[in-house]
Amino acid sequence: MSETMTDYTTLFRLDGKRALLIGAGGIGREAALALAAHGAEVICADKDPLTAKATAADTGGEALELDITDAAAVHRAARELGDLDVVVLTAATNVRKGILDYAPEEFDRVVALNLKATFTVLQAFGRGMVERGTGSIVVFSSVRGFVVEPGQSVYAATKAGAIQLVKTAAAEFGAAGVRVNAIAPGVVETPLTDQIKNDPGWYRAYATKGALGRWSKPTELAGAVVFLASDAAGYVTGSTVMVDGGWTAVDGRFTPPA
């Protein structure tokens, strides 16, 4: 095969790559399975060691207990893990309350995980990638980084902030050959959305908001992770991939007559 030709059959393969998956439950578990299925060696990190171990067992990878709100622990993990080709951050939290009802400690908790810890992960693991001159970092944002609803003020602000951190990291790390991107899911069937799923009207309203008329499954986010981690996305950086079923494309929930 000529050196100028690309082998498209291996474009999405991750053989020989070491990937760190932070947030090993729900969407993170499926992302870890997908990365492993494409050949990556996956380190499954989670604040809950049982979650990390369960996902690691399913991927044949390594488990790591890691609280990313502990900056010192994150920087220590970056040093101890050594060379990484891929870092995927899915961990996040939400307190659904109106602005007038939000407590300062709730604000601090959401910001600490969703925004400050995102910065810490970019800084700690980005440093090694920049020094090596290669790597891909994928951060999970949300449609709430673009559109909001009552009760989502702090969560939405952190998810919008995460997108701006991703863009800035892409700009700063790009000259070294390191790519940084975000994924913005819409509404996903996970245990964290039980409150909504248990309310038929609420569930239906979310399902019909997007173009596909249904919620997504965690498995449907995994493809975007593999794409951004792989050579298939070799010229993609500073981007936010919308995996929202058309949520941000559709104007309102009413379908007017044609």
Residues marked active site are found at 155
Rounded to the nearest 10°, the torsion over CA 107, 98, 183, 48 is 50
**Coil, strand or helix: which one is 128?**
helix
Choose among 128, 147, 141, 148: nearest CA to 91: 141
- Residue 159 tokens, joined: 């998810």
- Residue 164 tokens, joined: 């701006």
User: How many residues can be counted in the chain?
Assistant: 258
Locus of tokens 């959401």: 110
Residue 93: C-alpha distances to residues 30, 127, 192, 193 (Å): 18, 26, 9, 11
Distance CA 156, CA 164 (A): 13
Helix runs in the chain, H state only: 27-37, 49-59, 71-81, 104-111, 117-132, 153-173, 194-197, 200-209, 219-229
Let me know: does 242 contact 248? Beta carbons within 8 Å. yes
Residue 182: C-alpha distances to residues 59, 73, 101, 234, 257 (Å): 23, 23, 30, 15, 36
